[in-house]
Chains A and B, each alone.
Chain A
Amino acid sequence: MSSGVAQTYRAAAGAAGPLVFIERTHAVSLGEWVRLEIPGEKRWQGQVIDAGERLTVVQLLDDSLGLAPDKVRVTFTGDVARATVGKELLGRAFNGVGAPIDGLAAPVGEAMRSLAGAPLNPAARLPPNDFIETGISAIDGMNTLVRGQKLPIFSGPGLPALEVAAHIVEWARAPKGEPFAVVFVGIGITARERRDFLERFEHSGALERSVLFINEMKDPTVERLLAPRLALGEAEFLAFECGLHVLVVIADVTHYCEALREIATARQEIPGRRGYPGTMYTDLASLFERAGIVRGREGSLTQIPVLTMPDDDLTHPIPDLTGYITEGQVVLSRELHRRGVFPPVDVLPSLSRLMNAGIGPERTVPEHRQWADQLYALYARGREARLMAAIVGEAGLVAPDRRALGFLEHFERDFIGQGRRRRTLAETIAAGWSLLDALPRDDLTRIRDETWARRHAPAAAP
């Protein structure tokens, strides 16, 4: 479809923000890669986002500073944007357009991939069914991450989402020790965060099994839209061609969405909620839906997008649309963070939709579902009781509510607040049981009789 033939125009008709307008173009294709140059001064790269006989719109990937429409030479390359992928990218760090930032030479790669990526046929998917141990009790026990899933972390400004993500990167294991890789995409992160991250990766030894794509706050906006697509192209290659189990961490999706809004406004698109483009759902889906497992292929692609909820608002369009696409969410709590609980995960609004596919007999423990439901139910009751106790005092509560309140404190401090130490799944399950064992049978409405009998059977007695 693309002509494959390059053609050059001597000037542009206009420019606005990251957009350049060229009149009377011929046979230009949508998504075509464009080079722009003011000879002897400056070069830019861009992509066709609206192709027309009368007017063609090119979106620049670089800062448009100094671009003079009447002086610029515009070359349509006849090729669509592509990314270099390959196993040799492991252990390397790149910027948002795929140029190395680790001082080494650009990789040759094993293949070139279209940046857009094609949708995976739902009939070719295999349902996710194996759990990934993250080492975090609030996730492994209560909101189990499953291979091929996309499970975002919803954070707020000032909450340690990146640190939680970094721990997951260091601690995550495939259950049977299968080959594992991490692709990390930093979008709009600060220089400090970048330094922290690189150091952590190097020290923990996680770097050699990782590929990093880092777009910093100071880099051009459009690169934020490109970086995750470069990363996902590489992740798909590692997962579905090389048979690795790949975990993709994208931080921060909020910066990505803001870049989307900025560019949509420059294109004079009709804005949707809070000025974000009406196409944002589809655009985010084109990233998040690339998680999965393909029938008949070895690897898997799991995503943990990290996003910052502006003003901690769960109904803001960014967390809202993300939540509709992803398979659950892990929500961080400011209140827990203030009380020094790490990781500060609020399990009530958190959810892993695919949890049931990854837990139970032969995967985790047989009673996992009831165990988690029971912890949830007690915690929810404890939260209600805490509210009520604030008004009427603890003495005004009925006995089961008083017990739930006691449970709540231990649950938050000991179970969720594991600190910066990795917990195995067995340790997580045991920690939960130790809280439940302290309560009378009638409080444990979600634990089925067989489970209770098995746990309290005098089997241990001689």
Chain B
Amino acid sequence: MTTAPLRITRVNGSLVEAEPVLGVSLYELAAVGHGRLLSEVIRLSGATATLQVYEDTGGLAVGEPLAFTGRTLSVQLGPGLLGSILDGLGRPLNVLAERTGDFIGPGASVPTLDPTRRWRFQPTLAAGALVSGGDVLGTLEERPGFLHRVLVPPGVTGTVAELAAGEFTVDAPVGKLTDGTPLRLSHAWSVRTPRPTGRRLGDDRPLITGQRIFDLLFPVAEGGTVAVIGGFGTGKTVVEQSLAKHADADVVVYIGCGERGNEMSEVLGEFPKLTDPRSGRSIMDRTVMVVNTSNMPVVAREASVYLGITVAEYYRDMGYRVALMADSLSRWAEALREIGARLQEMPGEEGYPTYLASRLGAFYERAGRARLIGRPEREGAVTLISAVSPPGGDLSEPVSQATLRVAGSLWALDADLAHQRQFPAVDWETSYSLYVEHTRAWFEREVDPSWSAVRAQTLELLQRDAELREIAGLVGPEALQDEDRLVLLVARLVREVVLGQSAYHPHDASSAPLKTFRLAQLAERARSLAAERIRAGAPLAQLDLGPFRRTLIALRDAPGAELSTRVTAAEAALAGILPAEARP
């Protein structure tokens, strides 16, 4: 009926409609307008296609042309990802800055991996080998000391016809299969499709975060999922960044989704200067950043979390333990809501689309520890630690609720604690971890056999403290029994010295599990010793916890190498808790 050419018929914010379309599929990419803005088909109805545009549509005119590409949104996976900073579409931000200046304009096309850089590839297979998806073809050194395993892309099978050692770019073939399929150092993967794995493995290994309150009270398993939920100013971002710096993972993927530009630039300035104590190399050498700040296009924000998890899965597939930080999934959900509203979809709760929970669940399920496909046999894990920013700090809102249904651990951050400058401001009454039982054997074996006992005593103390403080609020602390007042006193010590941790102190920012354990154990010993004295008739007023507290603080702030001498000093100070007349 119409002979009009393919053209844009409507521009509404980040959405574009085009007519007439034929033979186009959902989620296919297109270049729209004279500026060739990247966009994705999200609805097809008759001859009309609706596309979401990943870049600023200001100035885009009705009647401009567009071209479909036949591809879906994908990322090029290969060496060079580590240390890079990508936007939500996988464009390295520093290369983008060189091309388009300090401010990001639309239409710039930049490859994810440096196409000119050559990598020294060493094959581990030879011609004649039968290969299938996930098999390791060979290795190269991506960063000093970091071995990048070059994999056969999932879905590819055949017999190796040629495979050569030497220096190659990511796009050049290093060999081919007998059917002519070229083998390269990199391959593309559609970000919305999970990468396949073999059998899922259990949650019995903890991811050591270096944060006492998490490792001791609310541990997360490797391959587990955590929701860090808290209102603004409760320290979500500091928690996410501390974990990115100190967590015991081989690779960290950090997604800054709809967050602040200054914070990201702080990270970009700080990470290269920090060293990973395990490898002695820069933290940046194990980190991939995906950054889509709140003022960058909202559709790319939606895509950024998928880009990040695809990169995480890629390193997992090499056999690495990957920690994925997503800050914040609420911004991702809001992007969904914004796009849904423009599509005039029937909204669910609070205007969020009805598919919010299923999309969120599917995203969380991409985390996990698994036996991997391909040879040699290996295991890998993606641990997901995602921040959620509930409006008004109220956990009853849809994003928090959908998250809680799928996350294995909740670290609830509390505004009151943050106002008191108790950091990390974790509310221990609301937080939980489903990994406690699974990981206890590891802690008891690797740290101390009484790990679980000390953990239970600490929680009991905090619980008793909460009850007593409620009573003290009614009758005044002076009216409490001496033994109860002791609980208040020691609980304050535990809160300030054991659970409180400064992200900015050089020796306190990260705490080894043994140090965490010793601090909690010493506090508990001080409590039981003082309780014994009180039961023996000594009034609380005569007990002096001051010197012990100072040795405990000194232990907390001391470098790891001094641990045993500091513990000895604190143990010696325990004797000082005796009433004055009983002292030798």
A residues engaging B (CB < 8 A)? 1-3, 25-32, 50-54, 56, 80, 114, 116-128, 148-149, 240, 269-273, 278-279, 281-282, 285-286, 289-292, 294-295, 297, 314-317, 320-321, 323-325, 327-329, 348-349, 351, 353-354, 356-357, 369, 373, 376-377, 380, 387-388, 391-393, 395-398, 401, 442, 445, 448-449
- 5 nearest CB pairs, A to B: A396-B476, A315-B392, A392-B476, A285-B294, A29-B61
Q: Which of A25, A295, A316, A445 has the most CB of B within 10 A?
A: A445
CA distance A295 to B270 in the complex (A): 15
Contact call A122/B93, Cβ cutoff below 8 A: yes
Contact call B96/A123, Cβ cutoff below 8 A: yes
Minimum CB–CB distance from B577 to chain A (whole Å) comes to: 14
Interfacial chain A residues near B105, Cβ < 8 Å: 118
**Taking the complex as formed, is B287 at the interface, i.e. its CB lies under 8 A from any CB of chain A?**
no
Interfacial chain B residues near A31, Cβ < 8 Å: 58-59
Besides A123-B97, A289-B293, 15 other A-B contacts (C-beta < 8 A): A27-B61, A29-B61, A50-B13, A114-B58, A119-B295, A125-B261, A270-B347, A292-B261, A292-B262, A315-B393, A349-B419, A388-B473, A395-B478, A397-B476, A445-B553
Q: Which of B297, B351, B421 contacts A380 (CB 8 A)?
A: B421
CA distance A377 to B104 in the complex (A): 43
Among B4-12, B145-153, B218-226, B559-567, which stretch is in contact with chain A?
Answer: B4-12
CA distance A31 to B58 in the complex (A): 6
Contact call B477/A1, Cβ cutoff below 8 A: no
Contact call A149/B262, Cβ cutoff below 8 A: yes
Given contacts A119-B293, A123-B97, A282-B298, contact A356 B504 (CB under 8 A): yes
- Provide the B19-45 mask, 1 if CB < 8 A to any CB of A, else 0: 000000000000001110000000000
Contact call B62/A27, Cβ cutoff below 8 A: yes
Sample (21) of A-B pairs whose CB atoms are under 8 Å apart: A1-B64, A2-B61, A28-B61, A30-B11, A30-B13, A51-B62, A52-B62, A80-B59, A119-B56, A119-B295, A122-B268, A273-B351, A291-B262, A315-B231, A316-B392, A348-B419, A380-B421, A388-B477, A393-B476, A445-B549, A448-B557
Interfacial chain B residues near A395, Cβ < 8 Å: 478
Q: Which of A148, A290, A392 has the most CB of B within 10 A?
A: A392
CA distance A315 to B549 in the complex (A): 38
**Taking the complex as formed, is B296 at the interface, i.e. its CB lies under 8 A from any CB of chain A?**
yes
Interfacial chain A residues near B268, Cβ < 8 Å: 122-123, 125, 127
Minimum CB–CB distance from B250 to chain A (whole Å) comes to: 25
Minimum CB–CB distance from B415 to chain A (whole Å) comes to: 8
CA distance A117 to B269 in the complex (A): 25
- Provide the B466-488 mask, 1 if CB < 8 A to any CB of A, else 0: 00000011111111000001000
Interfacial chain A residues near B421, Cβ < 8 Å: 373, 376-377, 380
Among B118-126, B135-143, B334-342, B357-365, which stretch is in contact with chain A?
Answer: B334-342
CA distance A80 to B60 in the complex (A): 10
CA distance A175 to B389 in the complex (A): 35
Contact call B351/A272, Cβ cutoff below 8 A: yes
Contact call A118/B476, Cβ cutoff below 8 A: no
Interfacial chain A residues near B97, Cβ < 8 Å: 121, 123-124
CA distance A260 to B389 in the complex (A): 22
CA distance A270 to B337 in the complex (A): 10
**Taking the complex as formed, is B85 at the interface, i.e. its CB lies under 8 A from any CB of chain A?**
yes
Interfacial chain B residues near A391, Cβ < 8 Å: 473-474, 476
Interfacial chain A residues near B460, Cβ < 8 Å: none
Question: In chain A, what residue has the closest Cβ to B347?
Answer: A270
Contact call B102/A442, Cβ cutoff below 8 A: no
Interface residues of B in 282-327 (CB under 8 A from A): 291, 293-298
Contact call A51/B10, Cβ cutoff below 8 A: yes
Given contacts A25-B62, A289-B295, A380-B420, contact A124 B102 (CB under 8 A): yes
**Taking the complex as formed, is B546 at the interface, i.e. its CB lies under 8 A from any CB of chain A?**
yes
**Taking the complex as formed, is B391 at the interface, i.e. its CB lies under 8 A from any CB of chain A?**
yes
CA distance A357 to B232 in the complex (A): 19
Contact call B477/A396, Cβ cutoff below 8 A: yes
Q: Which of A124, A278, A315, A396 contacts B341 (CB 8 A)?
A: A278
Q: Which of B260, B394, B474, B549 contacts A289 (CB 8 A)?
A: B260
Given contacts A294-B102, A295-B102, A315-B391, contact A272 B61 (CB under 8 A): no
CA distance A314 to B93 in the complex (A): 35
Interfacial chain A residues near B35, Cβ < 8 Å: 1
Minimum CB–CB distance from A355 to chain B (whole Å) comes to: 11
**Taking the complex as formed, is B429 at the interface, i.e. its CB lies under 8 A from any CB of chain A?**
no
CA distance A380 to B96 in the complex (A): 46
**Taking the complex as formed, is B63 at the interface, i.e. its CB lies under 8 A from any CB of chain A?**
yes
Interface residues of B in 68-124 (CB under 8 A from A): 85, 93-94, 96-97, 100-105
Contact call B58/A3, Cβ cutoff below 8 A: no
- Provide the B446-481 mask, 1 if CB < 8 A to any CB of A, else 0: 000000000000000000000000001111111100
Q: Which of B261, B478, B496 contacts A122 (CB 8 A)?
A: B261
Interfacial chain A residues near B479, Cβ < 8 Å: 392, 396
Q: Which of B13, B341, B415, B549 has the most CB of A within 10 A?
A: B341
Contact call B504/A369, Cβ cutoff below 8 A: yes
Interfacial chain B residues near A25, Cβ < 8 Å: 62
**Taking the complex as formed, is B196 at the interface, i.e. its CB lies under 8 A from any CB of chain A?**
no
Interfacial chain B residues near A269, Cβ < 8 Å: 341
Contact call A125/B262, Cβ cutoff below 8 A: yes
**Taking the complex as formed, is B441 at the interface, i.e. its CB lies under 8 A from any CB of chain A?**
no
Interfacial chain B residues near A445, Cβ < 8 Å: 496, 549, 553
Contact call B295/A281, Cβ cutoff below 8 A: no
Given contacts A120-B103, A122-B265, contact A271 B351 (CB under 8 A): yes
CA distance A100 to B296 in the complex (A): 32
Interfacial chain B residues near A272, Cβ < 8 Å: 337, 350-351
Interfacial chain A residues near B59, Cβ < 8 Å: 1-2, 29-32, 80
Contact call B293/A380, Cβ cutoff below 8 A: no
Q: Which of B64, B233, B474, B554 has the most CB of A within 10 A?
A: B233
Interface residues of B in 205-252 (CB under 8 A from A): 231-233
Contact call A273/B473, Cβ cutoff below 8 A: no
Question: In chain A, what residue has the closest Cβ to B346?
Answer: A270
Contact call A120/B496, Cβ cutoff below 8 A: no
**Taking the complex as formed, is B179 at the interface, i.e. its CB lies under 8 A from any CB of chain A?**
no
CA distance A51 to B260 in the complex (A): 31
**Taking the complex as formed, is B264 at the interface, i.e. its CB lies under 8 A from any CB of chain A?**
yes
Contact call B93/A123, Cβ cutoff below 8 A: yes
Contact call A273/B478, Cβ cutoff below 8 A: no
Minimum CB–CB distance from A2 to chain B (whole Å) comes to: 5
Interfacial chain B residues near A116, Cβ < 8 Å: 56, 58
Contact call B104/A121, Cβ cutoff below 8 A: yes
CA distance A96 to B347 in the complex (A): 35
